[in-house]
Amino acid sequence: MTLEHHLPALQVVVPLLTAPLVAVLRPKDLAWAAATAASAMAFAISVTLTSMVLDGSVLRYEMGGWPAPYGIELVIDSLSALVLLLVTGSSTVALLMGRDSVARDMEPHRQPLFYAAWLTAMAGLAGIAVTGDAFNVFVFMEISSLATYVLIAGGTDRRALTSVFKYLIMGTVGATFYLIGVGFIYMMTGTLNFADMEARIADAPTRAPLLVAAGFITVGLALKAAVFPLHVWLPNAYAYAPHVVTAFIAASSTKVALYVLLRFDFLVFQGNLDGHAIQFADFMLPLAVAGVLFGSAVALYETNLKRLLGYSSIAQIGYMILGASLLDQAGVTAGVLHMFNHALAKGALFLALVLMARRLAGFDLLQIAGIGRRMPWTTAAFLLAAASLIGIPGTAGFVSKWYLVSAAFAQGAVGIALVVVIVASSLMALAYLWRVLEPAYFGTPLETEGNDAPTPLWPLLVLWVAALANVYFGLFPQLPVTLANQAAGALLGIPATGVFP
Amino acid sequence: MSPAMALWVPLAGAVLIALAGRWPNLRETVTLVTTLTLVVVVAAVGIDVWEGARPYAHFAQPFPGIAIAFAVEPLGMLFAGIASLLWIVNSIYSIGYMRGNQEKHQTRFYVCFAVSIAGAMGIAFSANLFTLFLFYEVLTLATYPLVAHKGDADTIASARVYLGILLTTSIGLLLPAIIWVYVTVGTVDFVPGGVLAADPSFVPRGILEGTIEGPALGLLLALFVFGVGKAAVMPVHRWLPAAMVAPTPVSALLHAVAVVKAGVFTLLKVIVYIFGIDYLFEQHTADWLLWIAAFTILAASIVALRQTNLKRMLAYSTVSQLSYVVLAAAVLKPLSEVGAAVHMVSHAFGKITLFFAAGAIYVASKKTELAQLAGIGRRMPWTMAAFTVGGLTMIGVPPTGGFVSKWYILAGAFQSDNYLAIFTVILSTALNAAYFLPVVYAAWLLPEGEAPKQDHGEAPWPMVLALTTTAALSVLFFFFNAPVLELEYRVVEPWPGVVP
């Protein structure tokens, strides 16, 4: 067996085994270097895996050589590849530019532990994306969640403690709901393997426990994914986490929860379980619309920039759910595509904040006044990512809006209403980002602010790579569109291109 | 010559201008060299088009069936031609204005200007609605720093209105309209397929023909008309007076030529290539457009009558004149479409002259109000002579370009006995005279009111050179308009065919 064959396992094993090593490494910069190298290696593995599934094939890997459904099976398809790219990519970029920011935020002796927790979180998130086993998902979910709580509370801001407690309670409820649902399914089908569940669920003697299971799983994962109205943990968790952590989790963690949600609801339930449409699409669509409008509207009045972007994320998650709950090829493609494009935009925005934090006392909209003149390059990158979030043509955000609006138009009368919602929310995004950009460029800086040391070149370069990715994938979106299209085909059971099992 | 060059030249110019920012003389040289290069490029593309070619350039393919691509046809050629030609004149004028006024951030000004021109070129040559939309937004965003140039609270408030209206209408209405077209016919190319695009004798029929009908067609048209905020059809015209806070060269080239013409050009192109004039004429759902255009022409003229500030009066005059193009397009007859295209040219020459004159008056005397202009003709004879020519063009008096376009608009209106259009044009001519002639009269014949704080003559010579050049172009266009007409006839008649 070649090394290539083991890549699905290595995707998780590399960061997971590096984590304890990082925890004992001294000095702190060595820990940072080891963590970054592990993350970069994981990213390289993700890229390789993506290139292997880009033709529509599915990679299967039997853990320990035990055949499925008895052993744990790892399954890599287009959807998992897309999520893996997000997780490992955002982690790598955030680590690459985050060393100074972490060094400012915590004492030296705690930094190696912080990096160890980071790798653990990443390994957990990647694990969710690679595994084909429902219980395994739960295990990785707990690993990543516990590590994420540590990351969020890792900074100096004491307010993070209360927000992380809220996140912990709600996250645990979500994970427990998921586990209850999986338990019901195991009771009825006797299997934990996704593919096996899909095959056996139709043979179940009664339907009621399965519907209950689907309800528990959908709600539990919606909690983890911050789907409105289960979003309340998100804004504060984003706002008070160390800035680098925000950049990482904003681009990855909710997307991973959404990934499991899509996997379960489409692959396992949809088409196999009568009445599931009511529980999923008919139930989620109004929530998605409400989330889109609510998130954007709150962001319009929010005065803290990080919380503002957090509420914007709630709206953006609404777009993804909206696309998915249209239940057709175009809609699901748009939803999955928006996972990718939103991660690009939001990740770049939070990365810009990492650099801005060097000069700013805080992220109140009054405090960012004049930052455009003090840090022209950083603010310009922020501007570019903001354009992508709004959906200005030529950026990645526009591509997913285009697919989303096209998919909505195809729905007839309901579709027109959805188009109105999407357009209205885009305009609100324009308005709330304008509330940030106008003081940033035209405001007068407050007197009391800290250092005016020049921005180091290296983090700025990394930031610009992230910002320009928004333009690149806006003009040449073939990669994410192909992945999203194949993922949608697989989820809906329609082979789009290539051969699906 | 590849039409993409018309995009790369000003963009490369923008980069070089930024690099040369520390040495003003070098920077201005770069600007002028860029403008000249662009005219050469556009002329080269123009010669190809004239000889019957349809230059095409493909850049990227973000969506299935939708490319970022350029395909040059007569309407776009005309728009690109005016914008690039007047950019030279405007750059000469800008140098005089920005230096004479000792403006700050001059490098940013010239960079944004070059990017705006690149946006205008992209709009002019776009092969499909998607590419057009892309550059439409580039133009909006690149002109924002120019409008907000002064940077004080009032300017920023106005610039917010500018950006707010243009972005809101384009994202909220234009984009859904484009996607609607895409979902309906599966393409947003102005000319379906590459085969027809290469054939110069092809007369556009409208890609929507036979698909959307009745009220839905009218709704789609409304999305386009109000989505293209740059065309300033009431009630989405408010950004244009707001944009007058910009330095005068910006008002002159962008808000009399490039930006506003990009708006009416887009509408013209949508009506001719997407809807098809015959199809829209049969469907009768475009009739409301005539009324709204007529209303805009008259209402804006009446508002212009009541202005006391020279630049704001010119802005409302622009709103009114833009709707001439919309009105002409909405008449939906071949001659009126030609008239719409020609009016883009004649209004451009006339209005840029008027703005140049307004800026020259401001630089020389710091005067901005109409009441202050009494007797100024004796101090600034060249400027006011040019202003007079510009005013006459707006009214449509021969021998100026404005007469030519009004002639064709009226001819088109008579083709379909469209008395609403005829009546509007005539009434509006009277209104135009009512607000331009008093200014001209006061400037030449009334005695000077209060003595100016300092004695002044003409503005710096580059400005005078620029405004006399455009005034001369206005007059010359009356006599030598045949090439433009012949080119634009190809939009409505098979070519080679009947030459007017």
What is the identity of the amino acid at B385? Answer: A
Task: Say what the pLDDT of residue A451 is.
Answer: 61
B160 part of contact set with chain A, CB < 8 Å: yes
- The angle at the Cα of B385, spanning B380 to B390, to the nearest 5 degrees, equals 125
Contact B176 A426 (CB under 8 A): no
Which residues of B are less than 8 Å from A390 in CB distance?
171
- The angle at the Cα of B6, spanning B3 to B7, to the nearest 5 degrees, equals 105
Contact B168 A430 (CB under 8 A): yes
Predicted-complex ipTM score: 0.76
Tokens of B159: 């610039």
Q: How far apart are CA B174 and CA B167, in angstroms?
A: 10
pLDDT in tens, B300-351: 999 999 988 888 899 999 999 999 999 988 888 888 888 888 899 999 999 9
pLDDT in tens, B405-463: 888 888 888 888 888 889 999 999 999 999 889 888 988 888 877 766 677 777 788 88
Structural element, H or E, at residue A388: helix A376-390
> B394-399, long-range: CB within 8 Å, 24+ apart, which pairs?
B394/B317, B394/B321, B394/B347, B394/B350, B394/B351, B394/B354, B394/B432, B394/B436, B395/B429, B395/B432, B395/B433, B395/B436, B395/B437, B396/B429, B396/B432, B398/B478, B399/B475, B399/B478, B399/B479
Using CA atoms, how far residue A265 sits from A75, A129, A268, B73, B264, in Å, is 17, 15, 6, 51, 49
Contact B179 A406 (CB under 8 A): yes
Task: Say what the pLDDT of residue B108 is.
Answer: 85
Assess whether pLDDT exceeds 80 at residue B214: no
Q: Which residues lie closer than 8 Å to A327 by C-beta, 6 or more apart?
A: A270, A277, A281, A492
Mean pLDDT of all residues in B156-172: 89
Give the nearest chain B residue to A421 (CA atoms): B172
Which residues of B are less than 8 Å from A417 in CB distance?
none
Q: How far apart are CA A389 and CA B98, in angstroms?
A: 36
Smallest CA–CA distance, residue A283 to chain B, in Å, is 26
* Nearest neighbour of A442 by CB, restricted to B151, B164, B167: B151
Nearest in space to A281 (alpha carbons), one of A233, A323, A237, A315? A323
Per residue of chain A (501 residues), give pLDDT as tens: 577 888 888 888 999 999 989 888 888 888 899 999 999 999 999 999 999 888 888 888 888 888 877 888 888 989 999 999 999 999 999 999 988 888 888 888 888 999 999 999 999 999 999 998 889 999 999 999 999 999 998 887 788 889 999 999 999 999 999 999 999 989 888 888 888 888 888 787 888 888 888 889 989 999 999 998 888 889 988 988 999 999 999 988 899 999 999 888 888 887 777 767 777 778 888 999 999 999 999 999 999 999 999 999 999 999 999 998 888 888 899 999 999 999 999 999 999 999 988 888 888 888 888 888 888 889 999 999 999 999 888 899 999 998 998 888 888 788 888 988 998 999 999 999 998 988 888 877 776 555 667 778 888 999 999 999 999 999 888 899 989 988 888 888 765 443 332
B226 part of contact set with chain A, CB < 8 Å: no
Nearest in space to B213 (alpha carbons), one of B305, B279, B132? B279
pTM score: 0.85
What is the identity of the amino acid at A440? Answer: A
Tokens of B25: 């003389």
Q: Phi/psi class of residue A279: alpha, beta or left (left: φ > 0; alpha: ψ in -120 to 50)?
A: alpha
* Nearest neighbour of B137 by CB, restricted to A393, A426, A442: A393
- The angle at the Cα of A341, spanning A335 to A347, to the nearest 5 degrees, equals 130
Backbone angles phi, psi at B66, to 5 degrees: -130, 120
Nearest in space to B95 (alpha carbons), one of B118, B103, A487? B103
* Nearest neighbour of B63 by CB, restricted to A392, A402, A424: A402
Gyration radius (Cα) of chain A, Å: 21
- Interface of A to B at Cβ within 8 Å reads 387, 390-394, 399, 402-403, 405-406, 409-410, 419, 423-424, 426-427, 430, 434, 438, 442, 474-477
- What is the number of other CB atoms lying within 10 angstroms of the CB of residue B1? 17
DSSP conformation class of B498: -
Gyration radius (Cα) of chain B, Å: 21
Least confident of A128-137, B51-60, B126-135: B51-60
Contact A235, A311 (CB under 8 A): yes
Average pLDDT, chain B: 85
Tokens of A285: 């669509």
Contact A405 B168 (CB under 8 A): no
pLDDT in tens, B235-248: 888 888 888 888 88
Give the nearest chain B residue to A475 (CA atoms): B62
* Furthest CA-CA distance within chain B: 67
Contact A393 B130 (CB under 8 A): yes
Smallest CA–CA distance, residue B180 to chain A, in Å, is 7
